[in-house]
Amino acid sequence: MNKKILFAAATLIHLACNERPKTPDTSLFEPFKIPSIHKIYTQPVCHGNACSYVHYLMLDTYDDAKFDDYNFVYLADGYLDTVKTALPVAAIQFCSPFSFRDIGGSENDEQLKNHAVALLWYREGYEGKLPEISSVTIWNNGRPKELHWMDIETRKGRTR
């Protein structure tokens, strides 16, 4: 009987001394919230007489734990709908929020590179709404990870 009382007392002391269990972080399970994107710069990429452009887009918010390659492709596909034909897209680079100053030349390249979070390159010569993606690179903790990317049918389903 003394053992039962001693065990019960030890259990009560243990429960009283410990903090309440923390509520699990459910923010990881929240649905993807589409951030605002702002075009901050374009840079021509020319092959012979044909030029297309790398479009640099800044996200108003960015949390690498909540973004994945599908989210970047989804945002890029939405942006492609807004691009004028005078600035055909060779690639789209997403940047985390920072104070961009257009100072020209390689100085811009350095700032944009330091804040890059994803880069999508498109194949030349597409027709239709969605160009074929040739590669996707996502930076995580400053290190690039290149992905080989999805077919157009999968993307069409995400843009409807």
Averaged over 115-122, what is the pLDDT?
91
**Tens digits of per-residue pLDDT, 120-158?**
998 876 655 678 888 888 887 667 776 655 555 555 555
Burial of 127 per CB tally in 10 Å (0-12, 13-18, 19+): exposed
15 part of a folded domain: no
11 part of a folded domain: no
Averaged over 3-18, what is the pLDDT?
54
10 part of a folded domain: no
6 part of a folded domain: no
- What distance in Å separates the CA atoms of residue 154 and residue 136, rounded to the nearest whole number? 15
- What distance in Å separates the CA atoms of residue 146 and residue 160, rounded to the nearest whole number? 27
What phi and psi values does residue 18 have, to the nearest 5 degrees? -80, 150
144 part of a folded domain: yes
97 part of a folded domain: yes
108 part of a folded domain: yes
Paired residues of 144 in beta bridges = 139
Please give the pLDDT value at position 160: 43
Give the closest residue to 154 by CA, choosing from 133, 139, 137, 123: 133
**Domain housing 124:** 24-159
Q: Token pair for residue 95?
A: 């940047």
pLDDT at 52 over 50: yes
Total tally of structural domains belonging to the chain? 1
Read out DSSP for 14-46? HHHHSPPPPPP--GGGSPPPPPPEEEEEEEEEE
